[in-house]
């Protein structure tokens, strides 16, 4: 469909043209970064160049960046490999954290989706040994931003380690690891205009832990395997463009806010989840009471509009989103939520098309009985 509208940037972001060029340029070069000859040295330079740019995105030195096969791998490295006697994760984490730490204590959030700091403080005070805490910087479904610097202060006071999944935040808000004061931070290239299947784990200092992948000595012995040179080169280019493009986020927020105003006007009982908390500029999670998310998704897809359900599909069954349930949203309302996520190529024509199609679905499903 030529006039398709893509509003699913939180699932994956369209590749920026400059990133595509960087990837193709790297693919055209033969060389393993571990080889000592000139071909290898050129490949190594591409990887180290990208490491510098990704470090700049997170406000850290390049030596603190370990390239991975994506955000899921970075999260698994921390949750499965960092030694801790106990782990605590927020109830709204991505599955790549929740599943990697299935025995973790869940930290509650408020109705707006913000971590309950008093509960964190109390749970840490009651715990003994080394605790590893994991709280995301911004939620993938609602866009709600967590007060990570405050969370870090509480963790420090109790001697706990802090991991932060910044996969959705990177490129949408500025990230400064020194201000956030986290021990580990996860990133993923495809959420910020880079390719899929490449990410990074940012480490404070020289943290030692057993690698998830064993073999060669790549990535300073923390992640074995020949580097994905083309993917990493694309990640580096996307990271630099994302830093430069942060100024565009005001435009994206204005588009999102105007879209939400129109949704609320058209359907006054539409719930916009997390709207009372600081949020990413690009994300809107909206419920249409009484209409299941799948029904809305299919109708929108037929109209050429791509968005996501605010729910997870597993073994053929659509479950209400664990994020919305943790915020105290009822099963039915949670089961009628959509996630609309905007980005660098989104314009007013795209959000207009969504508003029109979504309100048409509402009209069709709420026709008075004749």
Asked whether 92 and 136 are in contact (CB, 8 A), the reply is yes
158-187 residues in contact with ligand PLP (CB under 6 A) are 165, 167-168
Interface characters, 82-111, with ligand PLP (x: CB under 6 A): ------------x-x---------------
The residue of the chain with the least Cβ separation from ligand PLP equals 71
Three-class SS state of 107: strand
Q: How far is the CB of 348 from ligand PLP (least distance, A)?
A: 26
**CB-based burial label for 204 (10 Å; 0-12, 13-18, 19+):** middle
Q: Is 227 in the site for ligand PLP (CB under 6 A)?
A: no
Q: What is the CA radius of gyration of the chain?
A: 21
Q: Which of 72, 134, 146, 321 binds ligand PLP (CB under 6 A)?
A: 72
Report if residue 308 touches ligand PLP, rule: CB under 6 A.
no
The residues pairing with 105 across neighbouring beta strands, listed in sequence order, are 88
CA distances from 350 to 91, 296, 298, 353 (A): 33, 17, 18, 5
Check residue 76 for interaction with ligand PLP (CB under 6 A). Answer: no
DSSP string, 150-203: HHHHHHHHTT-EEEEE-TTTBTTB---HHHHT-SEEEEEGGGTTS-TT-EEEEE
Does 113 interact with ligand PLP (rule: CB under 6 A)? no
Q: What is the enclosing helix (H) or strand (E) of 76?
A: helix 71-81
When asked if residue 8 is in the footprint of ligand PLP (CB under 6 A), the reply is: no
Told to check if 71 binds ligand PLP by CB under 6 A, we report yes
Q: How far apart are CA 280 and CA 73, in angstroms?
A: 23
Count residues binding ligand PLP (CB under 6 A): 13
Active-site residue, 81 included: no
Q: Pick from 199, 234, 271, 281: which binds ligand PLP (CB under 6 A)? A: 199
CB of 74 to ligand PLP, least distance (A): 8
Which residue is associated with the tokens 């009372």?
276
Binding mask 31-50 for ligand PLP (x = CB under 6 A): --------------------
Residue in the structure block whose two tokens are 């590749």 = 15
- Is residue 70 near ligand PLP by the rule CB under 6 A? yes
Q: Which of 84, 136, 202, 239 binds ligand PLP (CB under 6 A)?
A: 136
How many residues comprise the chain?
370
Catalytic residue list: 313
Catalog residues that contact ligand PLP under the rule CB under 6 A: 70-72, 75, 94, 96, 136, 140, 165, 167-168, 188, 199
């Amino acid at each position: 469909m030529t006039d398709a509208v893509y509003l699913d940037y939180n699932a994956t972001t369209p590749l920026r043209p400059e990133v595509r060029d960087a990837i193709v340029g790297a693919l055209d070069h033969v060389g393993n970064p571990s080889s000592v000859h000139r071909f290898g040295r050129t490949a190594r330079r591409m990887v180290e160049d990208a490491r510098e740019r990704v470090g700049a995105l997170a406000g850290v030195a390049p030596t603190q960046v370990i390239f991975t096969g994506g955000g899921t791998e970075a999260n698994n490295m921390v949750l499965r490999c960092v030694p801790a006697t106990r782990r605590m994760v927020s109830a709204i984490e991505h599955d790549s954290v929740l599943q990697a730490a299935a025995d973790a204590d869940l930290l509650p959030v408020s109705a707006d989706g913000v971590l309950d700091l008093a509960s964190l403080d109390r749970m840490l005070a009651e715990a003994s040994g080394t605790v590893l805490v994991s709280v995301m910087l911004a939620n993938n479904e609602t866009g709600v931003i967590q007060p990570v610097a405050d969370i870090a202060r509480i963790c420090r006071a109790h001697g706990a380690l802090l991991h932060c999944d910044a996969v959705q935040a990177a490129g949408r808000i500025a990230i400064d690891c020194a201000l956030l004061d986290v021990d580990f931070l996860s990133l993923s290239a495809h959420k910020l205009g880079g390719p899929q299947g490449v990410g990074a784990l940012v480490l404070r200092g020289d943290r030692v832990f057993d690698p998830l992948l064993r073999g060669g000595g790549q990535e300073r012995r923390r992640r074995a395997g020949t580097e994905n040179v083309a993917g990493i080169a694309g990640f580096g280019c996307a990271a630099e463009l994302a830093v430069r493009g942060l100024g565009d986020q005001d435009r994206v927020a204005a588009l999102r806010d105007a879209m939400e105003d129109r949704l609320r006007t058209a359907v006054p009982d539409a719930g916009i989840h997390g709207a009372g908390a600081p949020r990413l500029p690009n994300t809107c999670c909206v419920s249409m009471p009484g209409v299941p998310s799948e029904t809305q998704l299919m109708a929108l897809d037929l109209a050429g509009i791509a968005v996501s359900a605010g729910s997870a599909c597993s073994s053929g069954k659509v479950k209400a989103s664990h994020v919305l349930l943790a915020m105290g949203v009822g099963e039915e309302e949670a089961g009628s939520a959509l996630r609309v996520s905007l980005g660098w190529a989104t314009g007013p024509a795209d959000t207009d098309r969504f508003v029109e199609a979504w309100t048409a679905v509402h009209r069709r499903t709420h026709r008075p009985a004749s």
